[in-house]
Structure formats: C-alpha cells, structure tokens
Amino acid sequence: MANLIDNVSRTFGEYLLIPGLTTKLCVPANISLRTPLIKYGKGKIADIRLNIPFVSAIMQSVSGPELAIELARNGGLSFIYASQPVESQAEMVRKVKKFKAGFVVSDSNLTPEHRLADVLSLIARTGHSTIGVTDDGSPNGRLLGIVTSRDFRSDKDDRYTKVKDFMTPFDKLIYGKAGISLTEANQMIWKHKLNTLPIVDDEQRLLYFVFRKDYDSHRENPYELSGNDKTLLVGAGINTRDYEERVPALVDAGADVLCIDSSDGYSEWQRDAIRWIRNRYGADVKVGAGNVVDSEGFRYLVNAGADFVKVGIGGGSICITREQKGIGRGQATALMDVNEARNLHFEETGVYVPICSDGGLVHDYHMVLALAMGADFLMMGRYFARFDESPTKKLRIGNSYVKEYWGEGSNRAQNWERYDTGDSEGLKFEEGVDSYVPYAGKMKDNLGITLGKIKATMCSCGAITIEELQKFSKITLVSSTSIVEGGAHDVILKEQT
C-alpha cells in the first residue's frame, strides 16, 4: 500500500501563539517586517528584500499593474499574471517600471508643428499631463518647450492651434543640467514652486523629467520598494510551456523577479524551466518555483536552482484541487515540514532559500502564525482582490458591494498552462471557482490595519523582527471548544447601526 504519513494535516486555525515577554523595546514603531525574497549565502544579505512580507498572487483577478504599483509603494511586491499573451504581460511590467519617479524618461512627446487635437489625443491615450515638445517629437530630441493642462482650454481653444503657439517655450522654463542629483532636482522644484523640472544635456536635448508629485509620493510611502534606479520592483509569473518566449520578453520589460505559476511544482517540467533560465541567464534572472507541500518537493526545486519556493496546494479560498483530485496538505503542516527541510539545507550548504506561504489564510492573525512557522513572506489572492486597485469589477449584490474573484484553475481563467501534465491545450476539469469577495476600498487603508495587527501580535510575542518571531515565539494547538471560547460568546451582541 501507499506510504502513510502518520501525522495530522493541520491548518492555521488549529493554532494560537502564546505570549512572550514584551520588553520596552517591543512597540510597533520598532517592529521591522523586512524579509528576504530570494536566496542568499550565510553572512550575506539577499539582493532583493521586501519591506513588508506580502506578495500578490499570480492571478488575473488580482495582480494587474495598478495593484502592482500600489503594493510596491507600500513595501510589497506583485507578480503580474501569466495567463495572457506574452506582449500584454510584458507591457504591464513596463507600466509598473515606468511609474516610479526620480529621473523619468519622457514617453509623451510632440513637435511644435503638432496641433491641440494631437495633445488631447496623447493625453487620452497615456493619461500623462506633461508633454515634452522636442524638435523631432522623440524622448531625447532638442527640448523646445513643454505643454501642461495649464497651457490650453480643451473646451474653448481651437483644436487646430499648433503646439508652438500655446506651449511654454524653453527660454521660459526652469531646467536642470545633466549630472544633477535627485536631491538637487527636488530642491529646485521646491525653490521655484514647480510641478515638473526638465533635465537637459549641453545640447539642450531632453534627458528626463523630475516630478514634484513623486517626491510627495515617496514621503507618503516610506516603505516603498524600489531599486537602485528608483523604479518600483515588480515580479511576473511564467509557466512551463512557453518560457523560452515569455522569459526574454519579461526580462527585457524590466521584471525584477519571476515565479513559475503551477498547480503542482514537484515536477520535471519546473526543473527544466529553471535549468533553461540558468543556462541562458546564469544567476542574473531570479526565479521562484512551486507549489510544494513537503520536504521532498522543496529539495527538488532547490536543487534545480530555485531562488525561493512556494508552499501550499489546495488551501486557497477559490481552490478546489483537494476536492477534485484529493491532492494537497493542511497549510500549517505543509509549511512546518518545508521549513524544517529549508533549515537543514541551510545548515548543510550555507545557502538560505526563502519560503513563501501561499493559501490557507482566513484571519489576519494567521499571517503571524505563518511567519512564525517559517514563512519568509506570504502570497495572497483573496486579500488583495477586495481592493480598488485589483483589476476586477466592483458590483452591487443586494445591499453589499463585492468584487469578482476567480481562480486560475477555473474555466473563466482558461489557464491550462499552469498544469504540468504534458497534455495538449485544454482544461479537463476545474480546480478553481468563480466567486465574489466583499469590497474593501483602498489598499493602503486596509493594509495599514493588517500591518498594525501583525506588529501588535509580534510585540505580544516579544519579537521585533520576523527572524526573532521564528526563533523565540511559542505556538500551541487548540481544541474546537477553545476556538469557540476565543470569540464573543454567552452574550447578546448589539445590532450594528
């Protein structure tokens, strides 16, 4: 008969954290949620670290460019979904990389001979309110002026008016010279009360724009996740079918990290995809793999060259893999098993491979449990699908607002590429459902509450870092009656007005 794993498959809901000593240092302001995203050697620091331990799921209903931008501005990272044509996914990555400020290459440009109608068309197409006017209409042509919304009245001015007749000409512009630092540029913006500062070279060619709004944005988002080039970090999903085409396009678009999106990561197809990436790019392209639920799957993907490993099969709120195939494992048990294997691998090799807990989170405190059980960061779909920034529709059903949320294994997603079975195109049966989640508003407001709860719980555990939480926290199993005891009971709750 089959090998029997003689321990119960458990979920986060079956555990609680036991308080540790809360020292005077254990206050929310001192809590650091920084965590590694990719593997690194002993005594070193990972090349990519998250400022909060959250990444968004590789799903059509979750990770579009708008959510990727907002999550990166708040310290996390999104993986743009792979179940779309290669070029459209690459364009989403480019949109995220272009958003971040600092020195921004202008991609909205016209010549002086263009007309107001061209300006309005360009604004409608790009959403950009500042247009560089160059001699040849290119991003790096000789700067002759700029056009902003203050230079024309769209409802009254003649749409055939040439740009040269209403633009702000170069001789009236305040500008910076090539070599100026970002700090110096921002000082000029504040000194002259500007919204935009063009940067030009000695031949008056346009190099960049620096925007006041980006300085304000950075002040409002101190945990913003950006690289040395000041662009936001963004990930992208790939599959084991068309990676030879998809990976180069995503790398060219600027994706900072890739992740294989698969129903079951313990497969030779994932190994082959990782090896192809390593043979072509070496260690320069970072790629995570998964999902797995035990130590064998973890070791297999690490030996193949994965930079991080995702843990979890069947625990997502829209996933029905366990119901359909009888495959999976309780998320808490899976995570603790993989964590043990990861720690052993670190002892043996001196290489720390981060693990990502994917699925099984019902309450915010489950996030802390997952981190305490060894997860370096958490991948979430339902949590992010509720927000304004997710790509789905907001609908009203009865007296409540909801957002659409569907699994990548559903017929709606048609993401057959994530199933490593070697079959031809087509879903034989669904492993995900099409559903709704309660609408929750803006991400930033909700994220602040969640992170506040996590920090408060860590304080109660006597930990100010995720590493300390994993090292010193205590976890206990709970009975079904103690779960009831933990909520409101034996009272008559007042109706909410």
Rounded CA-CA distance 398/393 in Å is 16
**C-alpha angle 251/299/83, rounded to 5°?**
35
By DSSP bridging, strand 131-134 and strand 143-147 are antiparallel
Residue 446: DSSP 8-state: H
Catalytic residue among 246, 418, 459, 461: 418
Tell me the CA distances in angstroms from 167 to 131, 133, 135, 408, 475, one per residue in order: 9, 8, 13, 48, 65
Is 94 part of the annotated catalytic residue set? no
Rounded CA-CA distance 319/59 in Å is 12
C-alpha distance across the termini of the chain, in Å: 59
Catalytic residue among 26, 73, 259, 319: 319
Q: Are 409 and 263 in contact (CB under 8 A)?
A: yes
Rounded CA-CA distance 171/169 in Å is 6
Rounded CA-CA distance 259/214 in Å is 29
Detail the DSSP E strand segments found in 240-399.
Answer: 257-260, 287-292, 308-311, 351-352, 355-358, 377-380, 394-397
In the chain, how many H helices and how many E strands?
15, 24
Is 418 part of the annotated catalytic residue set? yes
Rounded CA-CA distance 169/147 in Å is 9
Q: Which residues, 6 or more positions from 362, have their beta carbon under 8 angstroms from its beta carbon? A: 12, 13
Q: Which residues, 6 or more positions from 77, have their beta carbon under 8 angstroms from its beta carbon? A: 37, 50, 54, 55, 56, 68, 71, 225, 233, 234, 235, 256, 257
**C-alpha angle 299/302/304, rounded to 5°?**
110
By DSSP bridging, strand 54-56 and strand 377-380 are parallel
CA pseudo-torsion sign 407, 408, 409, 412: positive
DSSP string, 227-239: -TTSPBP-EEEE-
CA pseudo-torsion sign 433, 436, 442, 444: negative
The SS3 assignment for 226 reads strand
Residue from 465, 391, 448, 390 nearest 74 by CA: 448
Rounded CA-CA distance 289/306 in Å is 6
What amino acid positions are annotated as catalytic residues? 319, 418
